[in-house]
Copies of this chain bind each other. A is one copy, B any other.
């Protein structure tokens, strides 16, 4: 997978980087799953024809990319969501946070209404139970004026999971990293609208009503955009 705007990643590779790639190949070849234990250091050292200290360095690189988890005294395991790093698109390094929030919202407009429609079509009993529970949890936190950000992202991610598209659940948490920034900028002024639109999205998905789910998601995003625009004016 090449990435044209990140030429640095393609620079000549160090020995630990090359070994890290060999370990990735081994995880894939042996179909190791999240939580599975990797072979130990001396085993890997033999199989990959590399010194143990290079193996250790390579494992640190893989841990920093969230591909493996190193448990002191226990061993090294395939990570829960291998390869999904925190802030994978580097939003931390975008200076203009106001524009970032507005632009993330524009991207959410392109993705989330259609995803809600897909979720209404494909959600199974398990998905519906999860979405309903998260909808209530966000509501409770909002009513108690407690921090709802984490649960809010989980709510939108559960909808994304229900779409049964493999890419969408990996994308939505990244795009929804706008939620903390957004709440910071708007100081959580939208809570009545959030409760109502979340509830309508949930009901529509439970009823497998794609059009209503899509419309409710548009409504949710429109309330968000209007508030952002109002804040920008003042």
Contacts and interface: CB of A to CB of B under 8 A. Distances in A.
Interface of A: 1-11, 17, 24, 27-28, 31, 57, 60-61, 64-67, 69, 79-96, 99-100, 103-104, 106-107, 110-111, 114-115, 149-150, 153-154, 157, 165-171, 173-175, 177, 180
A94 B153 contact: no
Nearest to A11: B69
Given A1-B177, A150-B4, A92 B83 contact: yes
- Stoichiometry, as copies per complex, reads 2
Given A61-B64, A92-B24, A86 B1 contact: yes
Given A9-B85, A82-B93, A85-B88, A173 B64 contact: no
A118 B53 CA distance: 50
B86 A154 contact: no
Given A1-B92, A61-B60, A65-B65, A171 B107 contact: yes
A90 B99 contact: no
